[in-house]
């Protein structure tokens, strides 16, 4: 697989791997812990060098899982994790990016991951109670101390990105971005291009929608995040099928899967974009990495770019609480 750069010098595989679903949000795992470790190592063996986790995934157990998986292959992997929550008895109790909290999380994450330094340390969500300048300055101090290598933000707006970057260089911004979630295009992506910051789309397959495996009437497992997402409500899911049909038509012409086209579209949007699809299956690793070989024509890109305007999207990407969390 070819590589891309986030910021001026963080080189990663063009497709990364989001590990969250191995511990939470998508129902029971298809295998046990050892199998998930096997999937993570399989991904690295097949060209993926960029793995994304967070303290809150679990909480904590996902970092431990990733740490165990990468222990024998640390020199081949870039690991991103995140801070920014007040976690009480295993539950998020709002944001917390106070400097002392950032330092506590960094030390705890280092231990769980079993690494000497965190390659990319994101603020998971902007904390309205802590100036972003204080956040950037604290992470800058952690970099100077050798505990962190690069600073990132997640779901931050253009103004926040600029303020943080003025204090300490932001290497990457992670936000939801896919064929049906286009919010970053108006302000965030132009800002990142101007400042030389990388962009890491999470949920690049629309929480699995663009794999074609989520159909109207499909039951969700207890506790599965998609059961709370308005876009996956039966009526909205049926309406959104028109989006998938258009993507599938392009995929058929290119001899690819709909998921591969969705990822290839993201890769084609800008050279500083590195999507991190999540999966728990080896066959999906193969499918996702092969997206880097799918050649979309200029007409394909233009048609896909226009999907939201020509077809439309039914339902919000989060429920009411989630929308407030990202400031929408």
Show which residues are catalytic.
57
CB atoms within 10 A of CB 195: 16
How far is the C-alpha of 184 from the C-alpha of 173, rounded, in Å? Answer: 10
Cβ distance 57 to 90 under 8 Å?
Answer: no
DSSP string, 213-263: ---TTPPPPTT-GGGG-GGGSHHHHHHHHHHHHHHHHHHHHHT--HHHHHH
Closest-CA residue to 227 (of 312, 313, 314, 318): 318
Cβ distance 229 to 211 under 8 Å?
Answer: no
How far is the C-alpha of 244 from the C-alpha of 257, rounded, in Å? Answer: 11
Q: For residue 71, give the 3-state DSSP assignment.
A: helix
Which CA distances in Å does 318 have to 17, 33, 39? 22, 29, 28
Residue 187 tokens read as 């302000």
CB atoms within 10 A of CB 131: 14
Cβ distance 229 to 207 under 8 Å?
Answer: yes
């Amino acid at each position: 697989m070819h590589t891309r750069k986030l910021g001026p010098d963080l080189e990663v595989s063009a497709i990364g791997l989001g590990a969250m679903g191995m511990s939470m949000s998508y129902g029971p795992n298809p295998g046990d812990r050892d199998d998930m470790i096997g999937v993570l190592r399989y991904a690295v063996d097949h060209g993926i060098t960029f793995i994304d986790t967070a303290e809150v995934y679990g909480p904590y157990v996902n970092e431990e899982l990733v740490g165990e998986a990468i222990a024998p292959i640390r020199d081949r992997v870039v690991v991103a994790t995140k801070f920014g929550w007040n976690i009480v008895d295993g539950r998020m109790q709002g944001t917390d990016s106070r400097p002392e909290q950032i330092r506590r999380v960094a030390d705890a994450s280092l231990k769980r991951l079993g690494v000497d330094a965190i390659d990319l340390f994101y603020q998971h969500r902007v904390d309205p109670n802590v100036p972003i300048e204080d956040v950037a300055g604290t992470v800058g101090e952690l970099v100077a101390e050798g505990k962190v290598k690069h600073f990132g933000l997640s779901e931050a707006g253009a103004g926040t990105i600029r303020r943080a970057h003025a204090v300490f260089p932001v290497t990457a911004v992670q936000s939801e971005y896919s064929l049906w979630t286009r919010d970053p295009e108006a302000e965030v992506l132009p800002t990142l291009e101007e400042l030389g910051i990388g962009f890491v789309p999470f949920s690049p397959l629309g929480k699995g929608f663009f794999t074609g495996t989520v159909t109207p009437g499909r039951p969700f497992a207890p506790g599965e995040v998609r059961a709370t997402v308005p876009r996956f409500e039966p009526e909205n899911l049926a309406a959104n099928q028109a989006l998938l049909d258009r993507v599938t038509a392009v995929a058929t012409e290119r001899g690819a899967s709909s998921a591969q086209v969705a990822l290839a579209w993201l890769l084609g949007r800008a050279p500083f974009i590195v999507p991190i699809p999540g999966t728990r299956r080896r066959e999906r690793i193969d499918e996702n990495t092969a997206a880097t070989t799918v050649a979309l024509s200029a007409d394909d890109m233009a048609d896909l770019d226009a999907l939201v305007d020509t077809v439309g999207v039914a339902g919000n990407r989060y429920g009411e609480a989630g929308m407030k969390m990202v400031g929408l």
